[in-house]
Structure 1
Amino acid sequence: MRYLLTFVMLAVLAVPAYAAFEGPNSGGQSMGGFQGPTGGVQADTVKKAQSSWDDAPVVLTGNIVERLAGSDDKYLFKDATGQIIVDIDHEIFAGRTVTPQTKVRLSGKVDKDMMEPVKIDVKVLEILK
């Protein structure tokens, strides 16, 4: 029973290691996925997102430039209009490797909390060519 419990714990703890951002202070492997056009997507900008209401849907196109220190799932995202913090769970990466040079489209919602900077809670990450 003890060996089974140990095996299950190791398996559960190893799952997040398969998906990650690759850039400063990180590493990752590419594991594939769909690559192609996405129809009907309306793009927003960081500037628009910062002035939107809480929970407003948003689609941003740009680059994830770095992982924020002290956080496993918060990153700095940049587009032509500015920078914003994005919250991307490990499952969203789905084993794909993203570097600061990789252009991405992030879909999610605006997260405004009192006394904190505006963030984007990312639900979908698409790698663009």
Structure 2
Amino acid sequence: MTRYLLIPLFAVASTLHASDALAGYTGPGGTAVATTVAQARQQRDDHVVLLLGHLVAKVGDERYRFRDATGEIEVEIDDEDMPHPAVGAAATVELLGKVDTHRFKPTDIDVKRVQVLPPR
């Protein structure tokens, strides 16, 4: 009987996305999602961002330069979160993550999900 209870539970759990885990509270007083590099640079630490653009260069271990129409920002993407096969600079990607502010270095984005979008 336990087996029959686990099947619906697994089905519900598998429909959850990374964005749901980052969403948190969305009612009055909740924070909106920044959608451009320029907007992300103006946000406080841990603000959720959803960026659309290109990974234009690898700048270090798990660190990349991301560009959209409003500018560039450094992003940190864990190796296990990078899509396979590898992503080129021409590919359009959607990044879901959080703003990571620092006292003595520039703001960057801690990416939790990378999605490669199909060519238009």
TM > 0.5:
yes
**What is the number of equivalent residue pairs in this alignment?**
86
For 1:44 and 1:99, the matched residues in 2 are separated by 22
Q: Specify the SS of the correspondent of 1:91.
A: helix
1:74 and 2:63 matched = yes
For 1:94 and 1:75, the matched residues in 2 are separated by 14
Displacement, 1:97? 1.3
Matches within 5 A, 1:1-129: 44-68=35-59, 71-129=60-118
Displacement, 1:96? 3.0
Displacement, 1:43? 6.5
For 1:109 and 1:43, the matched residues in 2 are separated by 9
Q: Please tell me whether the aligned partners of residues 73 and 87 of structure 1 are also in contact (alpha carbons under 8 angstroms).
A: yes
Q: Which runs of 4 or more aligned residues in structure 1 lie more than 3 Å from their structure 2 counterparts after TM superposition?
A: none
Q: Please tell me whether the aligned partners of residues 34 and 48 of structure 2 are also in contact (alpha carbons under 8 angstroms).
A: no
Opposite residue 116 of structure 1, the aligned amino acid is K
TM value normalised by structure 2? 0.69
Ranges in structure 1 where 5+ consecutive residues have no aligned partner: 1-41
Residue equivalent to 2:9:
none
Ranges in structure 2 where 5+ consecutive residues have no aligned partner: 1-32
Residue equivalent to 1:10:
none
TM value normalised by structure 1? 0.64
Percentage of identical aligned residues = 41
1:12-34 deviations in Å (ceiling 9; x for gaps): xxxxxxxxxxxxxxxxxxxxxxx
Higher relative contact order, structure no. (Cα contacts within 8 Å, ≥ 6 residues apart):
1
